[in-house]
Copies of this chain bind each other. A is one copy, B any other.
Amino acid sequence: MVTPMDPTALGFLLAENRRMPMHVGGLQLFEPPPDAGEDYVREMYQQMRATDEVAPLFRKRPYRSVKTGGQYVWIDDDEFDIDYHVRHNALPQPGRPRELMELVSHLHSTRMARERPLWEWHLIEGLRDGRVAMYAKLHHALVDGVSANRLLQSVLTTDPDQRGMPAPWAARPRARAARAQEQAERSLASLPLSVLRQALGVAVDAAGLPKALYTTLSRSLRNQTSALALYAPRTILNQKITGARRFAAQDWPVERLRAIGKASGTTINDVVLAMCSGAMRDYLLALDELPETSLISMVPVGLRAKESQVASAEGGNAVGSVMVQLGTQLADPLDRLQAVHRSMRDGKEALASMTPMQILAMSALGQVPAVLPTMLKLGGVPKPPYNLIISNVPGPRVTHYFNGARLVGNYPLSIPIDGMALNITCTSYDGRMDFGLTGCRRSVPHLQRILTHLDDALVELEQAVGV
């Protein structure tokens, strides 16, 4: 079965190289159920790989030949081998979170072979606290980050006693997972890029697409001042990257963030950004690399359908983006929080006043952050438009389970690119705010130290507002 490839998916394939693999990831931590036996993980693995029928999304692979005119299309992999995609891993001793992060960093570093469907799923045992990890790797040409997260969640349940649950890649007619799979496909196909393409009548052509987009973006962005501070300082985060990745993850109680927001008249999202601001300030100070002017973060924000005019009928992932001044030049944590709050508010107001075409352009920048700068060659400009990307994606609020195993952590992995070596993605789950930091291992030295700085920043904010 041959299906055409959406230009957005094509863009991710064309933008990819060994230094910039274009896949997103998800790390999930589970506590096995009380009745789990010695063979619990092995049995789970056997059950997952014994999937009868694999959904089309997970069977298709990119293909091009003379017959397809040299263009990429999707074809069904007629030699599909589940054992290539679903793997059982273990951690070296002593099985600390550190060993888990090392393994996941490594798995997230390697580019996927295009001769096979573009996904991997790893079951990981050997954590000394008895927890079990799952790392999922999905190419951005298959799904976007939000859909990937939704897909992984779609197979979970709130019922701790439910068993016999299917894998995310199982074909399941009329089930929630099937809908999530469909939406993932549709959501990618309905991304701003393709809307833009239609709006502009751009030919589906790898060469023409970036130029047309660039023109549109430039035109839209020139009129913006408050929301679009395209003059970020140059930092170590904004250089050419290597193919090696480092991933670090940690979570904090949402309640602590909410208390700070309440006491200071800011939102939880503002507090997340202020934590990142304080952490990046401390991190860059320690490296003697803090710029004199504020770091600017690109922050994707949700748009209501009537604002965006690009939301799909299913209420898909229409997002715009705001360029937030993080206030990293300010020594006082409260000053930073207020700077973030103001910048975010101004940005959202500006977004609300933008024309649909401007929102489309912004949406493109927000929705496909990983590929656009590459395609627009923004990575090579002396002044980066922003210094890093911080996303905050809402997740489920109540405890979820997979075959009786309790989900206790859910950390997103993202895509660093040239000129944008660090990506922070947060997702809330069950009263915790889970932070996932994905960076180039060489450009962002000692990335894991940012976790300590995040913790310090949270404590500082609490002290500053007196909670």
In the complex, the answer to whether A90 meets B126 with C-beta atoms within 8 Å is yes
Given contact pairs A83-B244, A113-B113, A115-B18, A89 touches B92 in the complex (Cβ within 8 A): yes
- Total copies of this chain within the assembly: 2
CB distance from A466 to the nearest CB of B (A): 45
Closest B residue, CB atoms, query A125 = B92
Q: Give Cα A91–Cα B244 distance, bound, in whole angstroms.
A: 24
A94 / chain B contacts, CB cutoff of 8 Å: 38
Do the beta carbons of A79 and B116 come within 8 Å of each other? Answer: no
In the assembled complex, A223 has its CB within 8 A of some CB on chain B: no
Contact A90/B87 with A18-B116, A111-B113, A113-B113 known, Cβ cut-off 8 Å? no
Please count how many residues in chain A sit with their CB below 8 Å of the partner chain's CB atoms.
33
Least CB distance from A164 to B in Å reads 22
The answer to whether residues A19 and B90 also contact, given A84-B109, A84-B110, A113-B113 and a CB cut-off of 8 A, is no
- A102: chain B residues at CB < 8 Å are 88
A106 close to B83 (CB less than 8 A): yes
Residue of B nearest to A124 (CB): B92
In angstroms, how far is the closest chain B Cβ from the Cβ of A180? 28
Pair B19/A93 contact, Cβ less than 8 Å: no
Q: In the docked arrangement, what's the CA distance between A91 and B94, Å?
A: 13
- A57-103 residues with Cβ-Cβ distance < 8 A to B are 79, 81, 83-84, 87-94, 102
- Please give the distance in Å from A186's CB to the nearest CB on chain B: 30
| A419-466, CB < 8 A from B | 441
Instruction: Name the residue on B nearest A92 (C-beta).
Output: B90
* In the complex, A243 has a CB within 8 A of chain B: yes
Q: Within 8 Å CB of A89, what residues of B?
A: 89-90, 92
A41 to B91, CA, bound (A): 13
Q: Does A235 lie at the interface of the complex (its beta carbon under 8 Å from any beta carbon of B)?
A: no
A128 within 8 Å of B by Cβ? Answer: no
Asked if A42 is at the interface (CB within 8 A of a chain B CB), the reply is yes
Q: How far is the CB of A159 from chain B (nearest CB, A)?
A: 28
A242 interface residue per 8 A CB criterion: yes
A389–chain B nearest beta-carbon distance, Å: 24
CB pair B243–A79 under 8 Å, yes or no, is yes
**Residue-by-residue, is A35-50 near B (CB-CB < 8 Å gives 1, otherwise 0)?**
0001001100100000
Q: What 0/1 readout, one digit per residue, does chain A (6-20) give for beta carbons within 8 Å of chain B?
A: 000000000001110
Chain B: CB-nearest residue to A105: B83
Q: How far is the CA of A41 from the CA of B89 in the complex (A)?
A: 17
Q: In the complex, which residues of chain B have a beta carbon less than 8 angstroms from the beta carbon of A90?
A: 89-93, 126
Interface residues of A (CB under 8 A from B): 17-19, 38, 41-42, 45, 79, 81, 83-84, 87-94, 102, 106, 109-111, 113, 115-116, 125-126, 242-244, 441
Q: List 10 A-B contacts (CB under 8 A).
A: A17-B115, A18-B115, A19-B79, A41-B92, A83-B441, A84-B243, A84-B244, A90-B91, A90-B93, A111-B115
